[in-house]
Every structure is written in C-alpha cells, then in structure tokens.
Amino acid sequence: MFETGPILRALMRNKVGAILIALQIAVTMTIIVNSIFIIMERKELMARESGMDEANSFYIRSSGFAKDFNNQVTVQEDLAMIRGLPGVVDAIQVNAIPISGGGWSMGLQTKPGDDQDGVGVAVYMVDEHGTNTFDVDVIAGQDFNASDIIWRDGDRNDWPDQILITKAMAEDLYPDEDYRNAVGKTVYINRNEPIIIKGIIDKLQAPWIGWNGLERVMLVPQLMDFSAYRYLVRTEPGQRDIIMPKVEEMLASSNKGRIVRELRSMQETRDRSYRRHSAMINILTTVMVILTIVTALGIVGLASFSVNRRKKQIGTRRALGATQGAILRYFMLENFMISTVGVMVGAALTVGLNMWLMQAFELSRIDWYLIPVGMVVLWLVGQIAVLGPAKRAAAIPPAIATRNV
C-alpha cells in the first residue's frame, strides 16, 4: 500500500531520529494518559454531593469564655434570634460541619458486647430543626420532635435513646436487609449502651472527605451545654451573603462574654477541603498541554530538518513525475509509521506506570478505553505537527534537482 516499503527502508537508514521521535511519543502518551486518569478520578471525588443546601448555607463558631457565661440561655436566645431573621430558612447549634475536616465519630454495633465489630459513624448533635437546616429528608420512620431534645453536659458522656441515621449507614449496619427495616431497631454505642433508630435520612456526608465511610452519619437529638460550638444557618436562595455579616454582628454584640469567629460559607468550606484535588487537576492539565506542545515542536523540528536534507531527492522525485500530493503523503505516512511504533510502546508504558502507581500510591486501575483514546490523540498530534514541514516539502520545485547545491 502506498510507499510503505520505500519509506521503511529509508527510515532504517536513519534509525536514530525515528527512534527518538517514537520514544518521545511513547513517554508523552504515558504521562498524558495517566494524568487524564488521575484527573478523572479527582473530578469524580469532587463531584460527590454533601447532601446539604451548600449554596445557601454558612456557619460560625461561638466560644464563651466569661466565668458567668450561661450556655443554655445563650444558645436558646441565639437560635431564636437567627431563626427570626428575614431570609433565614432555619438554623441549628451543631458540633461539626460536613466536609469541613474536623468532627466527632463513634462506633455503632448491632449486638452488644466487647467482641462485636462496630461500624464507624460521624456524629452531628442537632435539635428538631436539624433535618430542615441540613436540607435532608426523612425517608423512613420519624423526624425528631421538640420533646426528644435533651441537653448534653460537657462533662458527661451520655447518649440519648434515639437517633436518625443515613440510608448509607443503615445499609452498612444491616447489609442483608432493606434500609427501611432498620427503623425501630436497637443498636449499641460504647459497646453496650442501647439506642433506637428513630428514622432514616436520605443523604448527608461526614466531615472527612477522605474517609471511606463518608456517607455514614447519625443525627443525635442533643443541644450542647458546652462553651464552644457552631451555628449552622440555611438561608433563602441568594440571601446568604447578606445574612452572613448580620449574624456575625448580632452574635458578637449580644453577649460580650464570648468570641465569635470562623464565619464561613459552605462553598468556601468545599473549596478548602477539595483544594488539594483541584490543585492536582490544574497542575496535571498544565503539564499535559505543555508536554503536547513540546512533543509537537520536536516533531516539527526534526521533520523540517529531514525535509531540508532531502531537498534534492524531493526535487528529483518531482522532476520524475511525483505529484505534490505524493510528496505530502510521503512525509505524513512516514510520521504515521513512527507514531505507530511510539503509541504501541506508549500503551505498554502507560499500563506499566499505572501498575506502579497502583502499587506505590494505591491508585486504582486505569480505565482501559483511555489507552486507545490516548493512541488516537497522539497519532493526530503527530500528523498535525508534520503537516507544516510536509507542505513545505511538497512546495519544493522540481527545478531544484537540476541545480548543483
């Protein structure tokens, strides 16, 4: 087909240049395909939803320090005040914030006893406004009502007798049953203390985005009689930025015996928590773009050089009747053949690097389809890069053959 035979023989006479390009293509492909794979994985991580109304929620931390600071009264007044603000949907006092990085976890087990395995779960202490503020639905059983809520003393470690858990937690506790059956069942905290599951909520994430139990959460009907805690506030759409400074100002001026700080929107929290991943995506994207350009320029450089060197032969071929198209085809085909070797080696290297990354850094196995996609992309890069020099070759006039260099 075409001039594959002559091209191959010509290539064999000048192997080194061809090998260099093929190797460059191979390594470039290895980096690019593995980078794309890492980027896809990170994007998938970042696309996970917390279950909250993130766009319209924010929180602030209040720490009482005065000796006569009355927590119970302050919390009740604060909550009444925040909930009464126009534009606020609901607000709660809470011990930790989803996806923020810091929180509290416990283990729940389905049978009592020291030798039973527990399932780790993130703890959020909320009152009867919890589900509304988090914007989650009770999909089985009952929500808390006002009479369920008890005060938790900072020095005591008692747990209430009922909780809400997420669907994911129900499924991890009872893997063989429908999650709805978990309602009304008794689980054990601290090995032996019974708690009844009052209801199941659809979805809410734990504070730790790197935790494998990210969606295992329990809501506990307790208000905290602690000196430090956070308020989580959910606003009407578009009202968040107006209400944030108002709440800060209100809390700071209502009680001089405390410090309010860490006023932060959920959007900011998400950006902070996932910063590492978005940074990796940005860096790898930059690397891919630069690398493609470097490889393409390398191909342009070497092809231009080989065109220049073969000016006389090209002229001779043209004089003997080869069309401009035939010359163009020669260089395109030559590049295609070199690229083919490159992407074949590249495919093997890609799998090799992925295997090593899996072993050394616990990455997962690369999606197989990325390899053929990478091969096609690099073939195209090669063809586009060689087009310019090939066109210049085709434009060489036959008369050059007759000239003495």
3-class SS string, 293-330:
HHHHHHHHHHHHHHHHHCHHHHHHHHHCCCCHHHHHHH
Report the residue number, 280 or 370, with the smaller CB distance to another protein: 280
Report the residue number, 236 or 271, with the smaller CB distance to another protein: 271
Residues 6 or more apart from 124 whose CB is under 8 A from it? 94, 95, 96, 98, 130, 134, 204, 217, 218, 219, 220
* Min dist. Cβ of residue 111 to another protein (A): 14
Q: Which of 8, 16, 26, 10 is nearest to 307 (CA)?
A: 10
* Min dist. Cβ of residue 77 to another protein (A): 20
Report the residue number, 290 or 380, with the smaller CB distance to another protein: 290
* Min dist. Cβ of residue 143 to another protein (A): 28
* Min dist. Cβ of residue 382 to another protein (A): 14
Tokens of 169: 């937690």
Report the residue number, 153 or 241, with the smaller CB distance to another protein: 153
- Compute the distance between CA of residue 218 and CA of residue 230 in angstroms, rounded to an integer: 17
* Min dist. Cβ of residue 16 to another protein (A): 6
Report the residue number, 275 or 403, with the smaller CB distance to another protein: 275
The Cα-based distances of 271 to 1, 101, 276 in angstroms read 56, 12, 9
- Bridge partner residues of 232 (DSSP): 59, 92
Tokens of 231: 């308020």
Report the residue number, 2 or 65, with the smaller CB distance to another protein: 65
Q: Is residue 374 helix, strand or coil?
A: helix
Report the residue number, 294 or 373, with the smaller CB distance to another protein: 294
Per CB under 8 A, residues contacting another protein are: 16-17, 20-21, 23-24, 27-28, 30-31, 34-35, 38, 63, 65-67, 114-115, 155-157, 190-191, 227-228, 259, 261, 272, 275-276, 278-280, 282-284, 286-287, 290-291, 294-295, 297-298, 301-302, 305-306, 308-309, 357, 360-362, 405
DSSP label at 208?
A: -
* Min dist. Cβ of residue 405 to another protein (A): 8
* Min dist. Cβ of residue 207 to another protein (A): 13
- Compute the distance between CA of residue 58 and CA of residue 262 in angstroms, rounded to an integer: 10
Report the residue number, 18 or 200, with the smaller CB distance to another protein: 18
Q: What is the DSSP string of 100-134?
A: SS---EEEEESS-STTS--EEEEEEEE-TTHHHHH
* Min dist. Cβ of residue 270 to another protein (A): 14
Residue 386 backbone phi and psi in degrees, to 5: -85, -10
- Compute the distance between CA of residue 247 and CA of residue 241 in angstroms, rounded to an integer: 11
Contact 228, 239 (CB under 8 A): no
